[in-house]
């Protein structure tokens, strides 16, 4: 397709935005109106129509996934060498490239390391523990504060002199030590990826000239989520030339907690008086029903810019709201529906996306999807089976059903710590695999052999046999009685929980990890009762548990293989990670008060941002949207009753199709609630 044909496929305002190249340009428009399409087409236009070298163009966005998608879209438009040297990346990758190219000017040595937030936290913990014992919350608070300072371009000295109270003074002092240590380690943290380039370009005219020669045109997607330093990076790079296009939607600003400034949309007009503002109004993504829901919801927020959004995609199906007994039923429902709907709708797995507020919500869902053997891809967060605690537990299970599984043996022989050292294990392996004698037995079997005693010191031998006796004992109990009981007993007896506590940075993390392990055992138990037809009646319980464990192991392996190919899979992501993406069928889970809107947001009064998040979630859907919630959910280890999200009340009643609601809220209660709200408002107004 020629660039002319591509342009013809766009509406007139989009075309105008693509063609306008002489000055700064802002496209401000609602979801699904083709903002990203303007960016991708404009890149092709600059190269193919204006003869600009792709090397001189940088397009940036926020998530890796969005950058990858954009790259694909552009890649299909540019032929052969046309795209060589083009930068399509996240802000942070662009920053990393600048740092790589400017190591000397920045005073770093080659081979610097990038600290992820966990590394940074560990360093902070060391620094803070020097003075007094501090807890995880304090460390998090200081880390957050430092990150804010960096995003606002505040240096340690300034932080110290502007500190408003003792806490800030303390944080500023830690900040100073933290920066000094990072530098000594030749390391940068995540926020430095933007901060260092900005400071360099601001203070070093030669470096600035170098980068201005390199980048002639910039395009920024999801501009509403830029923070001060990201904005400055764009401004510095573009300078007077001001050849850039930014696109955004203030209703989709969902990163205020990371310092994003939707006001940057306004600032842009002030900093660049020549700014051309183009608004788009037609949505090409969603059905009328879905779009109406999104518009009605977001109308509850105050607006800087008025935007209208309409669609010609037809009314489409009603939005389903499915109320479930509890969170497990919710996950079960979503998984089993996707299984049947794929066939009914003649859809592919990848046409379905399940979105949620927090990664923890994916846990149960993953198990259910695996139960139905539905391929899925989890973005962000750690997939259930790749968690360390689950890998440990799986290794125990594997060893229990197959003591000859050497990999499982090696993974857990020292977990929890049994003081069985590497040299003991090496001798054990040599003995088990003795070429000379032709001996070729498993590590576990070798531990039982008398011959080994001659090779190992008595202490080491004793530790090894204590371990093998322990496992043998569990195996015996599994044979004789309730296998699941024996497994639970094993986890208690070796005090795996204490081990998790020793190794976690915070008790809550250890708690969650242990809960994951129990969840795995529960699932194992369930999968034993649920598949009675799989096993002949003559088989014993041990056979059942073996079969169930093997199924778990297989799922684990299948999942690891699936990890490699990105093809046809159900997408699981947080609403934050879903920005800019679209799917034919979307499930939005957990529409409950305290989850969406999130409890913290309710407490600190940032419900508007949560509403934008819900808006982002809803506007990902092209054809159908299903909202789910649970009547009860485990929160902090306790089963709690949930209240449906206020956002459900804000959607157009007539477009919703409720399922499983015991009874609609009784009108008296609703009225009472209304009166409460009025009373609250009155008291606020004094
Ligand atoms: P978001 O705010 O969610 O990031 P967006 O404004 O970036 O959305 P796009 O993703 O660019 O919107 O476009 C949404 C969908 O509409 C895409 O499938 C895109 O291919 C399609 N689209 C965009 N412009 C047009 C057009 N003029 N005609 C037909 N389809 C279009
Ligand atoms: Mg977009």
Which range among 143-157, 367-381, 533-547, 581-595 has the greatest average pLDDT?
581-595
Could you read off the pLDDT of 383-399 as tens digits, one per residue?
A: 677 778 888 998 899 89
pLDDT of residue 134: 80
Could you read off the pLDDT of 261-311 as tens digits, one per residue?
A: 777 777 888 899 999 999 999 999 999 999 999 999 999 998 777 777 899
Could you read off the pLDDT of 427-460 as tens digits, one per residue?
A: 898 888 787 787 778 899 999 888 888 889 999 9
**677, pLDDT greater than 60:** no
pLDDT of residue 512: 81
Q: What CA–CA distances, in Å, run from 507 to 51, 510, 513? A: 59, 5, 10
CB contact burial 600-611 (16+ within 10 A = b; e otherwise): ebeeeebbbbbb
The candidate with the shortest Cα–Cα distance to 71, out of 45, 90, 98, 56, is 90
Q: Which atom of ligand 1 is nearest to the CA of 39?
A: 11
pLDDT of residue 30: 92
Q: Is 222 one of the annotated active-site residues of the chain?
A: yes
* DSSP SS3 for 271: helix
pLDDT of residue 529: 63
Domains of the chain: 3-102+194-280 (3.40.50.300), 113-185 (1.10.10.160), 310-375+567-685 (3.40.50.300), 385-560 (1.10.486.10)
Q: Is 71 one of the annotated active-site residues of the chain?
A: no
Give the residue, by CA position, lying nearest to ligand 1 atom 9.
34
Rounded distance between C-alpha atoms, residue 336 and residue 519, angstroms? 20
Could you read off the pLDDT of 102-132 as tens digits, one per residue?
A: 988 998 876 666 676 766 887 888 788 876 7
Using CB distances shorter than 6 Å, the residues near ligand 1 are 9-11, 14, 29, 31-37, 249, 252, 284-285, 580, 582, 619
Could you read off the pLDDT of 504-539 as tens digits, one per residue?
A: 777 777 888 898 899 889 888 877 764 444 444 444
Rounded distance between C-alpha atoms, residue 492 and residue 618, angstroms? 44
At 80, list the tokens: 């052969």
pLDDT of residue 564: 47
pLDDT of residue 566: 58
Helix boundaries (H) for 345-413: 362-371, 388-401, 406-412
Could you read off the pLDDT of 322-337 as tens digits, one per residue?
A: 999 999 999 999 999 9
pLDDT of residue 585: 97
pLDDT of residue 554: 59
30 is in an annotated binding site: yes
Q: What was the ipTM of the complex prediction? A: 0.99
Q: Is 35 one of the annotated active-site residues of the chain?
A: yes
**482, pLDDT greater than 80:** yes
* pLDDT averaged over every residue in the chain: 86
Give the residue, by CA position, lying nearest to ligand 1 atom 23.
34
Q: Which atom of ligand 1 is nearest to the CA of 249?
A: 2
Alpha carbon 575 to its chain centroid, in Å, reads: 9
Q: What CA–CA distances, in Å, run from 340 to 333, 344, 345, 418? A: 11, 6, 9, 48
At 542, list the tokens: 């041990």
Cis-peptide into 597, omega within 30 deg: yes
Could you read off the pLDDT of 575-612 as tens digits, one per residue?
A: 998 999 999 999 999 999 999 999 999 999 899 999 99
Give the residue, by CA position, lying nearest to ligand 1 atom 8.
32
The candidate with the shortest Cα–Cα distance to 597, out of 261, 630, 605, is 605
* Ligand number, closest to the Cα atom of 579: 1
pLDDT of residue 130: 73
pLDDT of residue 680: 45
Q: Which of 6, 13, 14, 36 is catalytic?
A: 36
Which range among 95-104, 406-415, 580-589, 634-643 has the greatest average pLDDT?
580-589
pLDDT of residue 49: 94
User: H or E stretch including 604?
Assistant: helix 599-604
**682, pLDDT greater than 60:** no
Rounded distance between C-alpha atoms, residue 249 and residue 180, angstroms? 38
Distance in Å, CA 7 to ligand 1 centroid: 14
Judge whether 491 and 522 are in contact, CB under 8 Å. Answer: no
Could you read off the pLDDT of 550-576 as tens digits, one per residue?
A: 667 656 654 554 444 557 899 999 999
Rounded distance between C-alpha atoms, residue 19 and residue 22, angstroms? 9
Going by pLDDT thresholds of 50, 70 and 90, the confidence category of residue 672 is: low
Residues facing 625 on adjacent strands? 586
Give the residue, by CA position, lying nearest to ligand 1 atom 24.
34
Q: Which of 189, 191, 221, 330 is catalytic?
A: 221
Q: Is 666 one of the annotated active-site residues of the chain?
A: no
Judge whether 468 and 457 are in contact, CB under 8 Å. Answer: no
């Amino acid at each position: 397709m020629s660039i002319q044909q591509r342009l013809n496929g766009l509406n007139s305002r989009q075309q105008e935005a693509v063609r306008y190249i002489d000055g700064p340009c802002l496209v401000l428009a609602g979801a699904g109106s083709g903002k990203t399409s303007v960016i991708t087409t404009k890149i092709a236009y600059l190269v193919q129509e204006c003869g600009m070298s792709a090397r001189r163009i940088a397009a940036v966005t926020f998530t890796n996934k969005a950058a990858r998608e954009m790259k694909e879209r552009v890649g299909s438009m540019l032929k052969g060498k046309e795209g060589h040297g083009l930068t399509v990346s996240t802000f942070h990758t662009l920053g990393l490239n600048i740092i790589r190219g400017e190591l000397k000017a920045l005073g770093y040595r080659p081979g610097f390391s990038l600290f992820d937030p966990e590394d940074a936290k560990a360093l902070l913990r060391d620094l803070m523990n020097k003075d007094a014992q501090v807890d995880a919350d304090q460390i998090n608070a200081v880390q957050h504060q430092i990150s804010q300072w960096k995003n606002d371009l505040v240096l340690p000295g300034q932080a110290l002199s502007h500190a408003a109270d003792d806490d800030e003074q303390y944080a500023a002092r830690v900040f100073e030590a933290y920066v000094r240590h990072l530098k000594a380690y030749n390391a940068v943290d995540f926020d430095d990826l933007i901060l260092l380039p900005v400071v360099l370009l601001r203070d070093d005219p030669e470096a600035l000239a170098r980068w201005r020669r390199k980048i002639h045109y910039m395009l920024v997607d999801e501009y509403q989520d830029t923070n001060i330093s990201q904005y400055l990076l764009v401004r510095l790079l573009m300078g007077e030339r001001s050849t850039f296009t930014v696109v955004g939607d203030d209703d989709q600003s969902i990163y205020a907690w990371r310092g994003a400034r939707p006001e940057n949309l306004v600032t842009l007009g002030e900093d660049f008086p020549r700014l051309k503002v183009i608004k788009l109004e037609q949505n090409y993504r969603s059905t009328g029903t879905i779009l109406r829901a999104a518009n009605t919801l977001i109308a509850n927020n105050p607006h800087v810019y008025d935007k209208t959004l309409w669609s010609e995609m037809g009314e489409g199906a009603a939005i389903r709201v499915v109320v479930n007994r509890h969170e497990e039923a919710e996950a079960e429902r979503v998984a089993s529906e996707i299984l049947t709907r794929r066939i009914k709708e003649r859809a592919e797995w990848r046409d379905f996306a399940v979105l949620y507020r927090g990664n923890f919500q994916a846990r149960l869902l993953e198990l259910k999807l695996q139960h139905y053997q539905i391929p899925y891809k989890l973005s962000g967060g750690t997939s259930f089976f790749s968690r360390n605690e689950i890998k440990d537990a799986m290794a125990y299970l594997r060893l229990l059903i197959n003591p000859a599984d050497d990999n499982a043996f090696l993974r857990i022989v020292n977990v929890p710590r049994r003081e069985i050292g590497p040299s003991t294990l090496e001798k054990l392996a040599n003995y088990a695999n003795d070429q000379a004698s032709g001996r070729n037995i498993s590590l576990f079997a070798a531990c039982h052999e008398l011959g080994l005693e001659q090779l190992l010191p008595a202490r080491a031998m004793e530790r090894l046999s204590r371990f093998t006796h322990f496992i043998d004992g569990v195996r015996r109990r599994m044979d004789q009685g309730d296998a699941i009981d024996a497994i639970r007993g094993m986890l208690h007896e070796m005090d795996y929980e204490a081990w998790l506590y020793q190794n976690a940075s915070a008790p809550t993390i250890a708690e969650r990890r242990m809960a994951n392990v129990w969840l795995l055992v529960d699932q194992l138990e369930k999968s034993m009762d649920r598949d009675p037809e799989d096993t002949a009646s003559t088989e014993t319980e041990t056979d059942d548990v073996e079969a169930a464990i093997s199924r778990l192991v297989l799922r684990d392996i299948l999942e690891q293989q699936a990890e490699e190919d990105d093809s046809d899979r159900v997408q699981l992501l947080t609403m934050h990670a879903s920005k800019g993406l679209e799917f034919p069928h979307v499930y939005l889970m957990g529409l409950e008060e305290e989850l969406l809107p999130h409890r913290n947001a309710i407490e600190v009064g940032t419900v508007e941002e949560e509403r934008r998040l819900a808006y982002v979630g809803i506007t990902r859907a092209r054809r159908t949207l299903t909202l789910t919630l649970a009547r009860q959910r485990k929160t902090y280890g306790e089963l709690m009753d949930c209240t449906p999200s206020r956002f459900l009340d804000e959607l157009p009643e007539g477009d919703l199709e409720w399922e499983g609601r015991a009874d609609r809220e009784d009108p008296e209660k609703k009225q009472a609630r209304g009166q409460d709200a009025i009373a609250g408002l009155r008291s606020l107004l004094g």
